[in-house]
Amino acid sequence: MNGLRFLQLAGAANVRPFTILALTFAAIAAADLGFGALLHSATIFSVTQLFATLGLAALGLGLTMIVDEFDLSIPGSFTAAGAVAVLTGADNPWLGIACGVATGLAAGAIQGALIVSLGVRAVGLTLGGFLTLIGITYVLTGGSTIAYSNQAVSGWLHQPTLFGLISNRGVVVLAVFLAAAAIMFFTRLGRDIIATGSNRAGAPVAGVNTAAIIIGVFSAAGALAALGGVLLSYSLQAASATQLSDTLVAAASAAILGGVSLSGGKGRALGVAAGVLTICLLRSGLSAIGAKPYTLEIVTGTLLLVVAIFDAPRFLDQMGRLRRWLGQPRR
């Protein structure tokens, strides 16, 4: 593959998450039959609220996928951090945020260090991390829902802004995405993360400290998921061991639709944001137009299958063979 062809494919991969988002919006708008349910402010607010809930977990998971790993403990950090923040942040919300984020960061750092030092893959190890974090959350909450009494913080996070289309919590999550995008695009750290995922064995030749990158990425992933859990628990004024502990499927779907490769070395923060918005648009948009509940699974599954096919290493080769076959004269 020559350099020009590579650049064309890279550009297409960067644009694809936004193309999927636009096509999803157009398809749901067409199915709306002109009733305007999709463009109603309540539907848009629902989409952005889901974005605020799933966004940081998807971003954290996406980062681990970029370095060719997969962090199954993301929902555990999300849930445990919310409980820690509720227990410690009633009088001082910032203390609760710090304790909650520190919980996720520590969990990620420990798992990253074990992956590097033991030379194991993340899937099995982080499954243990997930179960441990959920177990700790059960201990902290006593197996029930615990309330957060600071209504002022909850009210501010849930308060709509920007013409009532997004909450303050959503704005915070969007700001984190923009900061992550800037780091990935403009700094050497971002390039080192991509290099680690592309070729972990060869990256050290270019001066990349892959061990530090792996530990840092898992630490950041845990902290991002934790921050998402803290913001949600504050907003809902409650936390429990079962509170959205099933975010993994939605987060993974969003990361894949957002252009993150399961084989590592590819992905952008803004692409993940587009993937999250696609999942949220499907959830809220299909509900707004009265689609059957199972429609979400069918449409999401179909999108993931199409993306997987286009990402297949042999897809371009097969398309080239098909074009050559179609171009051959028939006898």
Answer yes or no: is pLDDT of 287 > 90. no
313 assigned to some structural domain: yes
The pLDDT score that the predictor gives to residue 6 is 41
Whether the pLDDT of residue 283 is over 80: the answer is yes
Read off the CATH number of the domain in which 245 is found. Answer: 1.10.3470
Distance between CA atoms of 146 and 126, rounded to whole angstroms? 26
- In tens, the pLDDT along 167-204 reads 999 999 999 999 999 999 999 999 999 999 998 888 89
Cα 127 to its chain centre, rounded Å, is: 18
Distances (CA, A) of 316 to 219, 320, 322: 36, 6, 10
What band does 155 get if pLDDT is binned at 50, 70 and 90? Answer: very high
Classify strands 146-147 and 238-239 as parallel, antiparallel or unpaired: antiparallel
Greater model confidence, 205 or 3: 205
- Among residues 62, 98, 56, the alpha carbon closest in space to that of 81 is found at 98
Q: Residue 217: pLDDT above 90?
A: yes
* 331 falls within a domain: no
Q: Is the pLDDT of residue 19 over 50?
A: yes
In a domain, 168, yes or no: yes
> Does 81 reside within a domain?
yes
Decide if 135 is inside a domain.
yes
Judge whether 132 lies within some domain. yes
How much is the average pLDDT of 87-93?
A: 93
For the chain, what percent of residues have pLDDT higher than 70?
88
**What is the count of structural domains for the chain?**
1
Say what the pLDDT of residue 231 is: 96
| This prediction's pTM | 0.88
Supply the pLDDT for residue 313: 60
Give residue 264's domain range. 3-325
How much is the average pLDDT of 18-38?
Answer: 83
7 within a domain of the structure (yes/no): yes
Q: Is the pLDDT of residue 292 over 90?
A: no
Nearest of 7, 74, 26, 54 to residue 275 by alpha carbon: 54
Separation of alpha carbons 91 and 127, rounded Å: 34
- Is residue 330 in a domain? no
Q: What does the pLDDT average to over 32-60?
A: 87
